[in-house]
Structures are given as structure tokens and as C-alpha cells.
Amino acid sequence: MWRDYLFARSVDEALELLARHEGQARLIAGGTDLVLQCQRGECSAQVLVDVTRIPGMERIDERDGSIILGAGVTHTQAASSALLRLRAPLLSEACRVIGGPQVRNVGTLAGNLVAALPAADASLALVALDGEAEVASREGRRWVPLSEFHAGVGLCRVDPTSEVMTTLRFRSLGSDYRAAHERLARRRVHALPIMNVAAVAAVREGRFADVRIVVAPVAPTPLRLRQCEAFLEGRQATPEVIREAADLAASLVHPRDSLLRGSGEYRRALAGVMVRRALERVAGGEQTGRTWT
């Protein structure tokens, strides 16, 4: 386990503390993933640098047509924010179904992204919303598109031993956009998803536009079904088109057999069913998520 637990009061101070310990220190937010990793001996950090007291880490704003979130926004804050429920119900709904209340009260969006588990609920929604993360390092700040953020199971483009994710942003969806979140999990409060699907699209004069579909866990990273998105672009939002897209979705995913989540064959069929349901709801004008148990 760690030797020292330090609180950073600013992003610069967090960077300074990380740099001073030369790879031996690591950021912590809610600790819902990291403490378990430490207990399992999977995290060798001697020093933990807590970022939850940095001002601005919990902000939720809308500016110039974009939603701006502090990276330390917790799942409870995201689920209960009136702004997100109105402007990005996909994200608030995804956060509402994470773990139990204790996990939601302290678990953060940054932690969910940097832990980089492919089925993570908030990450899935943020990828579907075409979000970006601002990452601060000693060299400066950069924006990383979340579509390029994941690099494998547990791997991402942020190094929490030398960098701090500070902010998340995505464009607010216009009034012609719809979004849906579908989730299948076992009937237990703490169950991780067997399958997770998020779909975002504009529906203009009955036709799909700017479609984004993300499925997980069917690959080491949340998977954008770009072929399926291209298929839907400009097509009428009819049951026939949606069924065809769902069949295409099922043909594009290759989930592995999992003792925890079921066979690859079952989950491949499930991906088709859940993409169909999500698209039906997008076409029908719904804005909410749904969890199946």
C-alpha cells in the first residue's frame, strides 16, 4: 500500500507533486478503482495525490454550445445535474446506473475514463457524445478526443503518474438530436454490464444524420460502429432500416466467451438486439436510458 497521501490544491501543485516523486506518485480521485488495485498489489505508487479538492474539478457548465465538465464530477453529480439531464441525458443516465450509491457518490468521470475498462458506463456515453478531455502536463495542456483516448484494457492516453485530466467537453446536442443508452446486467446492484450500447443521432425530416453508435465490452476499447453509422447516415429512420443496421452491428462485433458475461455468440446477438432497441428509441424521440436485468 502507499506510504503518503497528499492533497493537491491546484492542477499545478498536483503536477509538481507528481514530478517530485518521479513516477512513484499517482493521482487518486474517488479511489473506487485505484484502492482496489492497491489492495491487489497492482499499483506500486508510494504516494497518492488526491485531486478532489482542486477548485473547478466539479463544475458543470454550458458555454458557447458546449457542455464543460470538471474531470472530478462524480457520478451522483452528473446523474442529478439539471443541466445534464436536460442537455445530455445520455451521460446523466449512464452515471445513474453505475454501481451503488457509495460508488456513485465518490467515483468520478476522470477515474472512469483513466481506469480505461471497455464497458465503463460514463466513458461509453462520453465517447458517444464525441467528447474531448483536457490533459495537463508539465509541458502544457492538450485536448484529447475521447474517440482516440482508449489504448487497450486498462490503457489510455493519460499517464496518471505525470499528467492530470482537468476538464471534459462535448457539444450540446441540438433539438433534432436523440440519444439512448441500453444496458444489460445481472440483477445485482454492483454488477458490471454484460453489454452496453449508446447511440446518438440527429433525426432530420425523418432521416438519420451524424450517427454515433458505441458498443462495449466487445473489444479492448469502447467500439464505435463506424460502418453501421455510415450505413444509417441519410437513411429514413424506419423499422426496416433499423433492423438492417442492427444486423450489420451484430456482424461487426466479436465479443469473446466470458464466464462472467456469457458466450461470445450470445453477446454478439445481444449487440444486434440492443443496437436495434437504442436506434428505435432514438428514432422515436426518446432521450432516456434503460437498464435490463
Ligand X SMILES: Cc1cc2nc3c(=O)[nH]c(=O)nc-3n(C[C@H](O)[C@H](O)[C@H](O)COP(=O)(O)OP(=O)(O)OC[C@H]3O[C@@H](n4cnc5c(N)ncnc54)[C@H](O)[C@@H]3O)c2cc1C
Least distance (Å) between residue 229 CB and ligand X: 23
Q: Which is nearer to ligand X, 77 or 108 (CB)?
A: 108
Q: Which residues contact 23 (CB under 8 A, 6 or more apart)?
A: 161, 162
d(CA 149, CA 147): 6
Residue 162 lies near ligand X (rule: CB under 6 A): no
d(CA 115, CA 44): 15
Q: Which residues contact 117 (CB under 8 A, 6 or more apart)?
A: 123, 153, 154, 217
Residue whose CB is nearest to ligand X in the complex, by number? 111
Residue 112 lies near ligand X (rule: CB under 6 A): yes
Q: Which is nearer to ligand X, 161 or 172 (CB)?
A: 161
d(CA 71, CA 186): 29
HSE toward the beta carbon, residue 189, CA cutoff 13 A = 5
Q: Which of 27, 127, 215, 250 touches ligand X (CB under 6 A)?
A: 27
Retrieve residue 115's grid coordinates: 481506469
Residue 6 lies near ligand X (rule: CB under 6 A): no
Least distance (Å) between residue 29 CB and ligand X: 3
Q: Which of 8, 128, 164, 242 touches ligand X (CB under 6 A)?
A: 164
Q: Which residues contact 66 (CB under 8 A, 6 or more apart)?
A: 169, 170, 171, 172
Residue 120 lies near ligand X (rule: CB under 6 A): yes
Candidates 85-93, 96-104, 229-237, 263-271: pick the segment binding ligand X (CB under 6 A): 96-104
Contact residues toward ligand X (CB under 6 A) are 26-34, 51, 71, 98-99, 103, 106-108, 110-112, 114-115, 120-122, 158, 160, 164-165, 190, 192
